[in-house]
Structure 1
């Protein structure tokens, strides 16, 4: 990446933030979108045609990041921010205690899995990547992702006694 490209990115940060705010209507999400946009722009700067304006290219990246974020949020369901709702932390019911114990046991069981299986579980089940995306991240065929994930899920279920 050359210095002129970096300078242009810095100059366009206010415009990118304004556009991100207009899409997301939340400052925290707008900041995330701008960060994602800059990361993608730096990563793929060689795909930008220097004879074309930089703004439309960056806005397209930002809009695609917003679409990706929106889709991911829809599939995750409703999230509740504990900062906005501090009273939800004070509930110490039996179900809450049981959930924390199960989470601790699950984390320990995942830590005992082979690295390949733990990585697949993390990418697919926690991060929400598709099989194809996880395969691309790990540099393995999609079928390998599917078989490792199956073995990881079976091993996790056995370790937790929920076969």
Structure 2
């Protein structure tokens, strides 16, 4: 487990609070913590518990896992299947349902396109290697196989 990154967490919380257009007092009330305590967390002076982080995440409408990673409680996982992106899009309160569906379709189409390009690049590299081997064999006086 990583050490607590309290300063980075505080900055992240402040940024998320401002993005949500909440005052310090509004977020403190929504999360059920005192105004001074939240201020100390944002300034990197206090280490909140996992429970407090969960309350803050709920009030900010972000995942608790995101705050746990910021606090160093959890290691960041690599999102190889796009689940975190899907979750972020589906839970974004600033988007309506149509916008969410359009974004998901675009995101999925880019992922599929990149996967095809990756497969094609692998096939091209194998073919290129085989052609180089034939060319080297011919330049050394051998016959192609």
Task: Give the structure-1-normalised TM-score.
Answer: 0.34
Task: Report which of the two structures shows the higher radius of gyration computed on alpha carbons.
Answer: 2
Task: Give the structure-2-normalised TM-score.
Answer: 0.37
**Structure holding more helix per residue:** 1
